[in-house]
């Protein structure tokens, strides 16, 4: 067979059903689909998709004659569909989320990014809302299963199949519905009760991605370039009203109300904080007064990405001055950070840490690295936890670490203090 460029839709269009029976052709198409899935030209991916479907339809007997190959090409069609979500039809997108969501999760597809492109193409207010509902409808009808054991919906005691549909039903009944529902709330859902414990780590990660996607759709923080031209009612940031010279100025928040808002934001969601406190008490009993066991617990929870437990460990490290002791005395940790930080934060930051591991900037960057890079917290959530840790360190007498982060009242989020 002549060498073909499988990235070229015109080359794919010349294939026949006979060609599709050749494993070399399949491998070439699969390699091209892998590249398309990583963000290569969406238009070419869509043309390749249409041509592949056309070839398969042209040979009704292919499915019967080569069932193994036919199955592989059906999976390839799904892969190409995920590659070009932004330009699929509404029905195609809904079908992907109804039948093939786990395919995307297994292949580490950035589903939110794909949907972002889909929404950007349909910019007007009404259409954007409609298409978000299309995706939600597909999710809520999805019968793919995550896990093997049944789950009790909302603590009802009656187990149902662990389908995507039922996981979302249970999440809605077990978690307060709020626009501020974030990563810690999602982690809290998985860490309470027995549901999360029945899952393998890959299954647990799938449920974590599922509820994150669900909240992305239900409570979107849409980019300004999408929102502002449309006047969509959901703002890109939660911005407090700005004072004016009229009636609005008189109704602006009082200093007492603003202080309470900041305190409430600092504490976070009550259910999540309760989970962290339980983990903290359990941790105190488990490690006792042994600093080595506490450090071992830290490395373990960071590897496992157990967010609630990791926050508890970080608090205890700060309470016992072990965080600073680790940074100044753990040579392996120092060598590791000096190796990975240049690519993340630049050579100057790594050099500064090597020279002064307890400098304020080095400590802030370490906390950022753990919370954002290793645990995957969004910046606002990570900065909130950072503010709490800075407060603990300051209360221990390390005043230089006070106010590692602050609450931006206008944008209603925490930010790192530069």
Higher pLDDT, 246 or 234: 246
Sign of CA dihedral 234, 175, 109, 14: negative
Mean pLDDT of all residues in the chain? 80
Tell me what pLDDT residue 256 has: 66
Q: Which segment of 18-27, 211-220, 354-363 scores lowest on mean pLDDT?
A: 211-220
- Using one digit for the tens of pLDDT, what is the confidence trace for 107-133? 999 998 888 888 877 653 444 467 787
Tell me what pLDDT residue 358 has: 93
| Cα–Cα distance for residue pair 312/308, rounded to 1 Å | 6
Tell me what pLDDT residue 40 has: 60
**Which tokens is 324 given?**
């600073």
C-alpha closest to that of 311 among 268, 340, 341: 268
C-alpha closest to that of 276 among 377, 385, 371: 385
- Using one digit for the tens of pLDDT, what is the confidence trace for 60-106? 888 899 999 999 999 999 999 999 998 888 889 999 999 999 999 99
Query: Does the model's pTM come out above 0.75?
Result: no
| Burial tier of 114 (Cβ tally within 10 Å: 0-12, 13-18, 19+) | buried
Report whether pLDDT(193) > 50: yes
Tell me what pLDDT residue 239 has: 28
| Residues above pLDDT 90, as percent of the chain | 26
Band (247; pLDDT cuts 50, 70, 90):
very low
Span 174-180, average pLDDT: 61
Sign of CA dihedral 273, 275, 276, 277: positive
- Using one digit for the tens of pLDDT, what is the confidence trace for 374-402? 887 778 888 889 989 998 999 889 988 88
- What is the crossing angle of helices 164-174 and 125-140, to 10°? 110
Band (228; pLDDT cuts 50, 70, 90):
very low
Higher pLDDT, 118 or 270: 118
Report whether pLDDT(248) > 50: no
| Cα–Cα distance for residue pair 141/151, rounded to 1 Å | 17
Band (6; pLDDT cuts 50, 70, 90):
low
Higher pLDDT, 351 or 126: 351
Higher pLDDT, 411 or 27: 27
State the DSSP H helix or E strand holding residue 414, giving kind and residue range, or none if neither: strand 413-416
């Amino acid at each position: 067979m002549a060498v073909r460029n499988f990235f070229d839709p015109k080359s794919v269009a010349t294939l026949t059903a006979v060609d599709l029976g050749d494993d070399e052709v399949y491998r070439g198409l699969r390699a091209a689909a892998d590249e398309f899935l990583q963000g290569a030209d969406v238009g070419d991916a869509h043309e390749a998709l249409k041509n592949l479907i056309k070839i398969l339809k042209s040979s009704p007997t292919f499915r019967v004659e080569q069932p193994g190959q036919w199955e592989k090409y059906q999976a390839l069609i799904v892969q190409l569909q995920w590659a070009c979500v932004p330009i699929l039809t509404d029905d195609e997108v809904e079908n992907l989320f109804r039948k093939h969501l786990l395919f995307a999760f297994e292949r580490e597809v950035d589903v939110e990014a794909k949907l972002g492109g889909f929404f950007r193409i349909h910019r007007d207010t009404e259409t954007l809302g409609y298409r978000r509902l299309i995706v939600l409808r597909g999710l809520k009808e999805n019968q793919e299963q995550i896990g093997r054991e049944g789950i009790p919906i909302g603590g009802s005691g009656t187990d149902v199949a662990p389908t995507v549909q039922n996981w979302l039903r249970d999440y809605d009944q077990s978690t307060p519905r709020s626009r501020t529902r974030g990563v810690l709330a999602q982690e809290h859902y998985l860490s309470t009760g027995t549901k999360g414990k029945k899952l393998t780590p890959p299954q647990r990660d799938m449920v974590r991605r599922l509820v994150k996607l669900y909240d992305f759709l239900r409570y979107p923080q849409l980019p300004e370039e999408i929102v502002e031209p449309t006047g969509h009612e959901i703002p890109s940031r939660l911005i407090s009203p700005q004072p004016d010279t009229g009636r609005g100025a008189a109704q602006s928040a009082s200093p007492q109300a603003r202080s309470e808002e900041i305190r409430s934001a600092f504490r976070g969601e009550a259910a999540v904080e309760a989970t962290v406190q339980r983990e903290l008490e359990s941790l105190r009993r488990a490690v006792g007064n042994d600093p080595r066991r506490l450090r071992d617990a830290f490395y373990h929870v960071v590897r496992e990405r157990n967010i609630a437990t990791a926050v508890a460990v970080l608090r205890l490290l700060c309470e016992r001055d072990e965080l600073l002791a680790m940074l100044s005395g753990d040579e392996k940790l120092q060598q590791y950070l000096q190796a990975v930080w240049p690519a993340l934060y630049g050579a100057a930051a790594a050099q500064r840490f090597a020279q002064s591991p307890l400098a304020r900037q080095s400590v802030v960057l370490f906390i950022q690295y753990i919370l954002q890079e290793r645990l995957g917290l969004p910046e606002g959530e990570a900065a909130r936890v950072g503010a709490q840790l800075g407060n603990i360190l300051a209360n221990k007498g390390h005043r230089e670490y006070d106010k590692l982060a602050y609450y931006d009242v206008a944008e209603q989020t925490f930010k790192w203090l530069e």
